[in-house]
Amino acid sequence: MNRANRILQMRLDGLAESKQCMLLDTAVSPVAREAADCASALFTADGELLAMSDAIPLLLGALPGQMTTLLTRYSPSTMREGEIFVANDPFSGGTHLPDIAVILPVFGEGQLIGFSASLLHHQDVGGTRPGSVPPDATEIFQEGLRLPPMLAGANYRLSQEIRDLVTANSRVPDIVLADLDAQVAAARSAARGWAQIIDDLGVTGFMDATADLLNSAEAETRATLGSLSHDEARAIDGLDPDATLGRLDVAVALKVSTDGMVVDFTGSSAQVPAPINCVASGPLSAVFYAAITLLGPNPLRNGGILRCIRLVLPEASVVNASPPAPVNARTNMVRAITSTVLTALAQIDPKGRPAANCGMAYVIAFSGMGADGERFLATEIVAGGAGGGPDHPGAHAVSTDVGNARNTPVEIIEADLPLRVISSERRRGSGGDGLHDGGDGIRRIYEALGDGIAVSIRGERFQRVPEGSLGGGAPAPAAARILRADGTTETLGPRSAVKLDTGDQLVIESCGGAGYGAQS
């Protein structure tokens, strides 16, 4: 591939990243602004992924499916500059309902040249519990407003109809609408940057170059896959077993060749009436992420890689749920899928690969009415530890693999919510032992400063923790409990909905990373 086209890929990557920065600058909700739970990408006019921001891979991998579904419903020939499309339906390419995709067609010299898209976790889209992540949901209908891909505005403005729809469904419509506006503005800014590229290359030159970029990425990926062992690798992991739901397994059979990477999830558990299921975007995110880790430094990161991926997904399973399965707590299922895929991948490409990461994150939503009578609602994401590596111990307290959410600063939490954070510390000793220990997880303690604070907690790895690598030890499992003001203690499970009153303390402990190698 020529240097000019590689420069073009870098400019497009930069454009996607600038768009991501703008989202972080203008988003209002703490989960987007502080935790960075959002992602931006650019697509070709045909809907192929063109460039990605350095955002949460779990979200990035979901955008191509949203794009594909949009183009099956709307003909590009009918699209107009300034039109806005939105979608959040997990069963139409999405993830879970709080993640709303905003997609704008981009035009150059009067013709459609691509799409500017983003996915952002919105604070509340209705449903049975504030934050729209009810841990006790049994059907998607309990999880909030469901938006199939739809036209939601023109002239770079959301329509009044979509504003009314959000206002009627969300507990915090002003915040959701502000974040949607931020998505539209970011998409528009990317379109303006895109125009500069068209000024330099012209539409024809741009189209030719992007076709080459996609083909080159595909060729690079096939060449890498062809250089690896062609043996089938298998791995199995999953979520904590549940007394009601039974085992929740993710099974993977992975095979690579110049024909591509085929990942067969046959053997994974059937979907369950609990929100831990994920839809097809989950395994795609995991496998896409894993594939990129194979490609070395500075690969062409675009849809050419996706052309090399084929998934075999059992219908109505925990990795490919069918309606009306609930999916709001799908994050940890995607993390488990990622752990399973990476474990399999390490069998055919072991060099430099660390032991398993914690494979979990807590997503905690706090809500209630403040002393001023105003509703408060915020989501906090707590990571775990990284796996120990061949040369180094694992990093402590860090978002790993398909995650990269930031924590919410204690000073922001205490300013926004009736909570006091008693401590936020490294959970020492929680990483697995080894020649190189796994990184430690986090312990965070929140104290309620008011009564009736509702908390939705979605965690994982309370029982089933990752194994160490090459003789390394397993990490300590995650745990959560409430220390009531009256001195009693309530032990919590991985998915809990609880209420805190004044003086109650919520203790959250995340899982560490697995150890690498036998301890000397």
Partner 1 sequence: MTRLAIDIGARFIDMIAWDADDIRTCKQPLGNVLCDSAQVGLTKLDLVPAQLSEVRIASTGFLNHLHDARSTQNGPRVGLITTAGFEDVATLGRQDRIGLYDLVTKVATPVHLIDEEAVFGISARMDAIGVELEAVDTDEIARIADALAERRVSSVAICLLHAHQDGHHEHEVASALTARLPDLSISLSHLVDPQPREFERTVSTILDSWLRITVLPDLAALKDRLTAEGFTGLWAWGDGRGALTEVSGSLVPLIAGGPAASIRGAAVIGASTKNAISIDVGSKTSDLALVRSGEPALIDGGLLAGLSVRGARVDMESLPLGGTQPVPGQTRYTLDDAMIAAGWMAGETACTATEAAQLLDRVHQHLAEAITRHATRRNVDPTRGSLVVTGGAGAPLATGLADALGLSHVLMPHLSSLAGAVGLARAPRRAEIQHRIDAPLIDVTPFMLTEFAQASAAELGTLPEGASFELFARISPRPRMPHIDVAFDRNTPERLVDAYQEAYHDRYGIAPQGPGHVTLLCARSDDPTGALKPDFAMTDGDMVTVPAGWRAVPVQGGFRLERRGS
Instruction: Tell whether residue 208 is a contact of partner 1 (CB under 8 A).
Output: no
d(CA 406, CA 121): 13
- Our CB check for partner 1 shows the closer of 218 and 349 to be 349
From 14-22, 127-135, 270-278, 312-320, give the range in contact with partner 1 by CB under 8 A.
Answer: 14-22
- Site for partner 1 contains 376 (CB under 8 A): no
Q: Name which of residues 287 to 306 contact partner 1 (CB under 8 A).
A: 289, 292-293, 295
Q: CB under 8 A: which stretch of 61-69, 142-150, 204-212, 410-418 binds partner 1?
A: 410-418
Cα→Cα distances 462→270, 283, 359, Å: 21, 22, 11
Nearest approach in angstroms of CB 407 to partner 1 is 4
Q: Hey, what are 413's tokens?
A: 């939490």
Q: Which residues pair with 333 in a beta bridge?
A: none
- Tell how strand 99-108 and strand 233-242 pair up: unpaired
Contact 271, 316 (CB under 8 A): yes
Q: Name the residue nearer to partner 1 (CB basis): 269 or 408.
A: 408
End-to-end CA distance of the chain: 48
x-or-dash string of contact with partner 1, 69-88, rule CB under 8 A: --------------------
Q: Is 253 in the site for partner 1 (CB under 8 A)?
A: no
- At 213, list the tokens: 């970029």
H helix runs in 119-259, sequence order: 160-169, 173-226
* Tokens standing for residue 435: 């020649």
Of 127, 389, 512, 515, the residue at the interface with partner 1 (CB under 8 A) is: 389
Among 161, 208, 231, 391, binds partner 1 (CB under 8 A): 391
Q: By C-beta, is 179 or 240 nearer to partner 1?
A: 179
Torsion of CA 210, 213, 215, 221, to 10 degrees: -150
Residue 481 has φ and ψ, to the nearest 5°, of -160, 165
DSSP 317: B
Q: How many residues bind partner 1 (CB under 8 A)?
A: 77
Mark residues 336-355: x for contact with partner 1 by CB under 8 A, - for none: ----------------xxx-
Specify which residues 40 forms β-bridges with. Answer: 118
What's the rounded Cα separation, in Å, for the pair 424 and 502? 20
Among 1, 150, 185, 219, binds partner 1 (CB under 8 A): 185
Residues 116-155, mask of contacts with partner 1 (x by CB under 8 A): ----------------------------------------
Is residue 36 part of the contact set for partner 1 (CB under 8 A)?
yes
Residue 380 contacts partner 1 per CB under 8 A: no
